[in-house]
Amino acid sequence: MKVAIVDDELDMRQSISQWLVLSGYETETFASARDALKVVGPGYPGVVLSDIRMPEIDGMTFLKRLMHHDSALPVVLITGHGDVPMAVEAMRVGAFDFLEKPFDPEQMTDIVQRACSARKLALENRALRNELASGDAAATRLIGDSPAMVRLREDILDLAQADAPVLIDGETGTGKTLVARALHAVGARATRPLVQVFCGEHDEAGQIARIFGGGEGGETATPALVEARNGVLMLEDVQALAPAAQARLVSWLDEGPVSGSPRIISICGSQAPAGQAAEDLRADLYHRLSALHLSLPPLRERGDDILLLFGEFTQNFSEEYGAPAPHVSPQEAAQLLQAPWPGNVRQLMNVAERAVLQSRRGGGSITSLLISDNDAVALPVTQVTQEGKPLKEYVEAFERMLIDNTMRRHQGSVAKVMEELCLPRRTLNEKMAKYGLVRSDYT
């Protein structure tokens, strides 16, 4: 974190800079707000320490311009003895804090330290938000460009900053546990424990012992509420909680947060349809656990994400098994897009893995995997829907997948892709720009 020092008095700039450098900070000094504005812009990796009374552009005007460009930039204003009302107005506008002359250098260091901590957190959250919004967050594997997935990533970022309980539901295979882990990973408790309790694996006494402690003989392991201290307690299959365990959890929640209390993230189990928790849990517990609610979209409603995910999965399995990624024909792409996917992303991943294994043996079509009647994860042919969407959308989805797969296979070699797809460079560039494909992602 840098500290930009803005003051028209040379002696003041130098003395502040020297003190902060001795305190371990990197500083930049500017004789005017105009000079500082040439360097300090959106995303500036530090904070601003500025005098409030300066010629040309005064501290208040400077503050307003900085807030216009980056409202999360901490600005500390230095005021004279009679400028306290102005400093109060500056705080209202968005200043982080102010120092009244003559000020204690130790006090200044303390304020700068707090400002730098706030800036670091703001920049990390902004970078993470951009990463999630772009769909490139490998840590969470929340892949997809559909509106539903863009909205889900935004919701995760927003809900992660809160401390209230979260209830996650959705069809089997939609990634509920993955989302719960993402909430933990991007939240304020990311460095604290994440403890997972599978409610459906225990009877009533076992649930109470696992979550709250106790049990016969005093041999029960550390209760989850203690194990997850200051962290997150994830309740899988929360709808399977027995009545007595539900009553204990209501009592615990009613006591209110105390020091060290974990955040509760509940997941309505994979075999339970959306909304099942509302039926199986007592009303008071359900409303407490669902203070914040995420309902995950089924794969069939995510449009072209199906081909995007299929391409990602086949590429990963291709590398794992040392086999070529399967070729997808236009007909197979259309069938992938039209299939109802009752097993959602998990089912699509299974089909992708078997497609790679099938290609390693030298043949077979993806269609055969979709319509196989004797496979637990495949889809009967009668389930492939007849309700389509405009031909243009199918063509564009297939075209994107074809270019993406070819770029992967040739590791970003534009010349080889042009040759294989019989495309002139300009056309290939236009299509890659249209579909958000970047050559550097493949090299």
Domains of the chain: 2-126 (3.40.50.2300), 135-297 (3.40.50.300), 301-441 (no CATH)
- For the chain, how far is it from start to end, CA to CA, in angstroms? 32
For 265-289, the pLDDT digits (tens) are: 999 975 555 556 678 899 999 999 9
For 132-146, the pLDDT digits (tens) are: 655 434 344 688 888
Distance of CA 284 to CAs 86, 251, 280, 394, Å?
49, 10, 12, 46
Query: How much is the average pLDDT of 159-170?
Result: 92
For 348-372, the pLDDT digits (tens) are: 999 888 888 888 776 666 766 765 5
Over 80: is that where the pLDDT of 398 sits?
A: no
CA–CA dist 400, 333 (Å, integer): 11
- Quickly state the pLDDT bin for 22 (edges 50, 70, 90): very high
Residues in CB range of 275: below 8 A, 6 or more apart: 169
Distance of CA 357 to CAs 150, 366, 369, Å?
32, 11, 12
Over 60: is that where the pLDDT of 380 sits?
A: no
B/e letters for 101-123, b = 16+ CB within 10 Å, e = fewer, are eeeeeeebbebbeebbeebeebb
CA–CA dist 75, 71 (Å, integer): 10
Pick from 76, 10, 4: nearest CA to 46: 4
CA–CA dist 407, 413 (Å, integer): 7
Q: Are 54 and 15 in contact (CB under 8 A)?
A: no
The helix (run of H) or strand (run of E) holding residue 185 is helix 176-185
For 100-127, the pLDDT digits (tens) are: 888 889 989 989 998 898 888 778 767 7
Pick from 103, 106, 186, 112: nearest CA to 142: 186
Q: Which two tokens stand for residue 246?
A: 């539900």
The helix (run of H) or strand (run of E) holding residue 77 is strand 75-79
Q: Are 344 and 298 in contact (CB under 8 A)?
A: yes
Q: Are 59 and 87 in contact (CB under 8 A)?
A: no
Q: Which DSSP letter does residue 143 get? A: -
CA–CA dist 277, 199 (Å, integer): 13
CA–CA dist 63, 10 (Å, integer): 21
β partners of residue 167: 266, 293
Q: Are 299 and 305 in contact (CB under 8 A)?
A: yes
The model scores a pTM over 0.75: no
